[in-house]
Amino acid sequence: MVKTLQQNRDWLLRNGIEPLTPNSHRDVFGEATNALQGTPATPDMQQVMFDSLLEVDEPRRMICSTPTFLGTVRRVISPQGLYAIAGEKMAALANLFPDAEVEFFMALKNPATLIPFIAAQDNSPPYHELMSGIDPEALRWAPTMRRILSALPGHRIVVWCNEDTPLIWPEVVRRIATMPSDVPLKAGLQILGDIMRPEGIQMIREALAREERLTVASRRRIFTEALEKYALPDQLEVEIALPGWTQELVDRITANYDRDVAEIAALPGIEFISP
């Protein structure tokens, strides 16, 4: 997301939108949240942060992205559930700019692949310590999203599934960046290029050029056809080698995830992007 937004930086800046890199806001946000301890920042403090972060004078939108907004690796899994402190963390971020309209955009990831991903991180503890006896099937997204909604009343929350990202990437980027559909999106195929052979990207470009009237549905069809033909298997298939994990466990976790996604998409206050 950061790379794609930076590729479109010229248009964004011309339209009063400034995308920030994680390095540019990490220290500023960290110091401010530690000082405020969840309380709202004063107007003077907000202005100091804007002055240190922004190039554009009086922008209408600032975009920040970093994985630790929901909590560090060691806070993802706990007896209280998945990302148990996410609502608290996000509310503290919203209170950095209480005079602004703060929105949150986040992708969900199947716990059957999220847990192995977390366990594989360099700063993650050994698996038995990471789980501390927690049943993997108990790590569900629906309770997490309900806690987040409770912590952020009145805030816009946009959600999608990470597994769907290759098919909906342009819509996700445009919604985050408030880019109209008639504005050319640079690096719109960035995420597909990471999971597909170069021939697939060429196939997509040629198919898009042939479309007389490109719609969201026709573009997703083109993306799907290219993925079916040219996707890199090692980018789409995840090998899971965790103690006690079986295919049956993965299937049950995935079934729970599907049920949670359906519940989350229907929650009042959630704006859900689906293929």
The answer to whether 169 and 192 have CB atoms below 8 angstroms apart is yes
Q: 254-263: long-range contacts at Cβ-Cβ below 8 A with a sequence spacing of 24 or more?
A: 254/110, 254/112, 256/111, 256/137, 256/140, 257/108, 257/110, 257/111, 257/112, 257/140, 257/141, 259/142, 260/108, 260/140, 260/141, 260/142, 261/108, 261/141, 261/161, 263/142
Q: Rounded mean pLDDT of 191-207?
A: 91
Tokens, residue 100? 């602004």
Q: What is the pLDDT of residue 133?
A: 94
Tokens, residue 215? 């719609």
- Considering only CA atoms, which of 69, 85, 191, 68 is closest in space to residue 121? 68
Say whether pLDDT at 254 is over 80.
yes
Q: What is the pLDDT of residue 77?
A: 95
Helix axis angle, 216-230 to 165-177, nearest 10°: 140
Give the pLDDT band (50/70/90) at residue 75: confident
Say whether pLDDT at 162 is over 90.
yes
Give the pLDDT band (50/70/90) at residue 129: very high
- β-sheet bridge partners, residue 17: 61
Q: What is the pLDDT of residue 267?
A: 97
- Considering only CA atoms, which of 267, 257, 259 is closest in space to residue 145? 267
Quote the CA–CA distance of 108 and 240 in Å, as a whole number: 19
CA angle at residue 91 from 85 to 93, to 5 degrees? Answer: 105
Distances (CA, A) of 84 to 26, 142, 146: 21, 11, 11
Q: What is the pLDDT of residue 15?
A: 95
Q: Is 104 helix (H, G, I), strand (E, B) or coil?
A: strand
Tokens, residue 34? 């530690």
Q: 181-185: long-range contacts at Cβ-Cβ below 8 A with a sequence spacing of 24 or more?
A: 183/11, 185/8
- Greatest mean pLDDT among 6-20, 191-205, 206-220: 6-20
Tokens 């049943």 sit on residue: 135
**Per-chain mean pLDDT for the chain:** 93
Cα 272 from chain centroid?
A: 12
Q: What is the pLDDT of residue 137?
A: 97
Say whether pLDDT at 237 is over 80.
no
The answer to whether 227 and 204 have CB atoms below 8 angstroms apart is no
Give the pLDDT band (50/70/90) at residue 189: confident
Q: What is the pLDDT of residue 80?
A: 94
Give the pLDDT band (50/70/90) at residue 35: very high
Q: What is the pLDDT of residue 132?
A: 92
Phi then psi for residue 104, to 5 deg, are -125, 135
